[in-house]
Structure 1
Amino acid sequence: MANSSPLTNWLTNYIEDADSDLGSLQVSLEGKPVRIILKSILEVRDKDNYTAVRLAVLRDHPEVLGLLLGGMRGEADKLLFEMVEGVTALYRAAQQGYTACINILIASVSPQRRLQLVLERDGGGWTAVTWAAVYGKTESVKALLHPFLPEQRHDILKTQSNILRTAIHNAACCGHTETLESLVDCLPANKLVTLLSMKDAIKHTPLELAESMKHHSAAELLRRKERAATQETILESYKQIDALKEENHQQAKALEEAHHKIIEVHEQSRQWAEVLMNRQDNMQKMLDQLQIYLRRAEPTDVDGDQEIEDYL
């Protein structure tokens, strides 16, 4: 049996009453340990297994949702990832186009898990972005993708359902042209070209799906966006090639200069070697001449011996 409390029952009634005064909830929390009371509210469920957070989302009461989650950031992750009736609270907000609730739900998850929340898939492999795409909720798509970097948006939009369809596939299949444009415009050209070439389980690209369902405006949008993205990707490739050529040219120029420097140093070394060899030759010649001079300067006893022989 699901738990309930007077506080939760009161809050449920408050949420269901669109004319309630938010100040009454704020006053009820004054002077009390807010974090403790909020945590108790978050954990209690009604007879349908709904928490106060889910009820606030279903009734589109972002002011209540913000009050409930505002002091619980990082501590409500388990609740926000919880599947009830096969979906998270974020799915419901995306499906209904409750953008203010979407912003609060994403901001209330610990930063390192925000992308994971948006990437969470239901039993059919749909993400919150897929739900928004199917129901044509353009503002939901923008709210779900805006907090993330282009690379992370690519990770979200390349996620495929159980029949291998992306959010772009589903928006194209349903003919939601405005939503489709929001999806394709949030990606850089090279990433978009890749996504538009992805095929579902029946081997259809998003463009082929739009054409088969006779959604002419969606098909025309995809053709136009694909042409522009392809051209931009090609131009960017040429720029990268030119940049590589310039880089290679600079490297070749540096190598040539280094080569000339090596030749110059080698030539200087050769000249110094010649100088040293010439000096060595000169020194050898000087030594030879010195030896000759010394031999000539040595005293000989030949004349003295002859004189002795003559005397005898």
Structure 2
Amino acid sequence: METWIRKYITASEAPDITSLRASLTTTLPDQLLQLITTIRGSKSYTALLLAISRDHPVVTQLLLTPLRGIAVELLFEKVEVGRTALHRAVLKGDRELVELILHTVSSGKKYELIAVKDGVGWTALTLAALIGYTEIVETLLISLSVEQRVSLLNIQTTYYRDTALHKAAYIGHTAALQTMLTSIPPDKVSALLSMKNRDSRTLLEYAESEGEKESVELLKSWQQPLLAALTNQGEELAESKQQIGALQEEDNRKTAELANQREELTKLKEELVESKQQISDLQEADNRKTAELASQREESQQQVVALQEANNQMTADMAAMMERLNKLDIYLRTPTDTDETGDQLHEPQG
């Protein structure tokens, strides 16, 4: 593979495709990338850049295909006038080559590669728009997300501050201009149409100054619905402001109600704290009275016991007295002597 590359760099005749195919079958992608990167010709051109410059699409395809995903640094490399391989592919107008280069880098690097500026601040899209390569413009944009397209269309050249849209409008490439405008959402177009270059000219003003009637008509056709949309948006904005005002009033009212409710809640909390204190005081009083009642009950029980004992003593005393009375009664009724008449006489008690 090294021998083939060295011959290709120095040769002036057509390349030996058969030998290239054979060499590629025995060369690993990493080895191929190293060889292409290190072996260079005049102006530090690699074999890849020479293949693009010499219009050798087969050589370009055979060299690039094995390098998919690993040729990032090689494709970002700038040479003469600060242009990359993608810049040169666009200048050649080779859509297939542009697709191949974009296919070689990862999706996360596509935007960075397309947005690379050359020595005068032109991206690959700027070149395609200026020359009028509508299909290449479409190829470049379709590989990006909507946000990336908007960002790319906002890039301005270093000196004239032109965007790719300015270049297409200036030359009168209406197909490329239309492709770029339709690649993004309508709500993003207005900002692009109002962008100004170094001469403070918008796209429409730029096209009018150059007498590009088709570009002027196209841009006006875009401006009219945008103006109508802006008018509608203004009316909708006014209505939205009214709604916002009404909502703000309602919010203020609810805020005031909430403040009142919070104030009432604060009062209730204070009352609750006071009630809790009262309950606590009542509980303490109840506990105190309960203790006093328990003490009184204990004293009463003691008095009852004492009275019971006294009652029992009195009952015993009464029983003893009754027993004595009974004995006395019996004694009084017992005969001790008789008188002359024969009646019983009793001895007086005591």
- TM superposition score normalised by structure 1: 0.70
Alignment of 1:109-148 (within 5 A): 109=105, 113-148=109-144
Rounded to whole Å, the distance in 1 between the matches of 2:291 and 2:5 is 122
1:44 counterpart (17, 29, 39): 39
Partner deviation per Cα, 1:225-283 (whole Å, 9 max, x = no partner): 234445556767859x96x96xx79x959x77987986896687567557546646766
Match of 1:171 among 147, 168, 171: 168
Residues 271 and 135 from structure 1, CA distance in 2 versus in 1: closer, same or farther, beyond 3 angstroms? Answer: same
2:322 aligns to what? Answer: none
Q: Which amino acid aligns with 2:180?
A: L
1:209 aligns with 2:206: yes
Which of 18, 21, 25 does residue 26 from structure 1 map onto?
21
2:185 is matched with which residue: 174, 188, 203?
188
Question: How far is 1:30 from its partner?
Answer: 2.2
Bigger CA drift: 213-222 or 71-80? 71-80
Any conservation in 2 of the 1:132–1:141 contact (CA below 8 Å)?
Answer: yes
- Could you list the runs of 5+ residues in structure 2 that have no partner in the other structure? 294-298, 300-350
1:132, CA displacement in angstroms? 0.5
For residues 275 and 60 of structure 2, what CA distance do their matches in structure 1 show?
91
Is the alpha carbon distance of 1:282 and 1:131 closer, same or farther for their aligned partners in structure 2, counting shifts above 3 Å? same
Equivalent runs, 1:71-90 vs 2, <5 Å? 71-72=66-67, 73-78=69-74, 80-90=76-86
Inter-CA distance 231–274: structure 2 relative to 1 (3 Å threshold): farther
In structure 1, distance between residues paired with 2:185 and 2:70 = 31
Matched, 1:100 2:96: yes
Contact 2:81–2:118 under 8 Å retained in 1? no
Take 2:108 and 2:20, find their aligned partners in 1: how far apart are those partners? 31
1:32-89 deviation per Cα after TM superposition (whole angstroms, max 9, x unaligned): 4453245324543445654321233335555532331233333451454222254322
In the alignment, residue 9 of structure 1 is paired with which amino acid? K
**Amino acid in the other structure paired with 1:141:** V
Aligned mates of 1:80, 1:287 — CA distance in 2: 92
Pick from 219, 230, 243 the counterpart of residue 222 of structure 1: 219
Distance of aligned partners of 1:36 and 1:234 in 2 relative to their CA distance in 1, 3 Å threshold: farther
RCO comparison, higher one (Cα < 8 Å, 6+): 1
Aligned match of 1:9: 7
- Say yes or no: does 1:55 pair with 2:50: yes
Instruction: State the SS of the aligned residue for 1:104.
Output: helix
- Asked if the contact 2:146–2:184 (Cα under 8 Å) also holds between the matched residues in 1, the reply is yes
CA distance in 2, matches of 1:40, 1:210: 48
Query: Structure 1: which 4+ aligned runs deviate by more than 6 Å?
Result: 11-15, 233-237, 255-261, 284-293
One-letter identity of the residue aligned with 2:7: N
Q: Which moved more, 1:102-111 or 1:178-187?
A: 102-111
| Counterpart in the other structure of 1:303 | none
Q: Secondary structure at the match of 1:71?
A: helix
Give runs of aligned pairs for residues 286-297 of structure 1, distance below 5 A.
Answer: none
Write out per-residue CA displacement over residues 98-148 of structure 1, whole angstroms, 9 at most, x where no aligned residue.
122112223334655433322222232211111101100111112222222
Q: Residue 172 of structure 1 contacts residue 218 of structure 1 at CA under 8 Å; is this kept in 2?
A: yes
CA contact (8 A) 2:173 2:215 kept: yes
For the residue of structure 1 that corresponds to 2:66, the secondary structure is coil
Give the structure 1 partner of residue 194 of structure 2.
197
Moved more, 106-115 or 151-160: 106-115
Give the Cα separation in 1 of the matches to 2:167 and 2:217: 16
Letter in 1 for 2:96: A
Give the conservation status (yes or no) of the 8 Å contact 2:137–2:176.
yes
Go from structure 1 to structure 2 and tell me whether the alpha carbon gap of 1:6 and 1:276 turns closer, same or farther (over 3 Å shift). Answer: closer
Distance in structure 1 (CA, Å) of the matches to 2:287 and 2:31: 105
Residue segments in structure 1 that go unaligned for 5+ positions in a row: 299-312
Is contact 1:196–1:207 with CA below 8 Å preserved after alignment? Answer: yes
Q: TM-score, normalised by structure 2?
A: 0.63
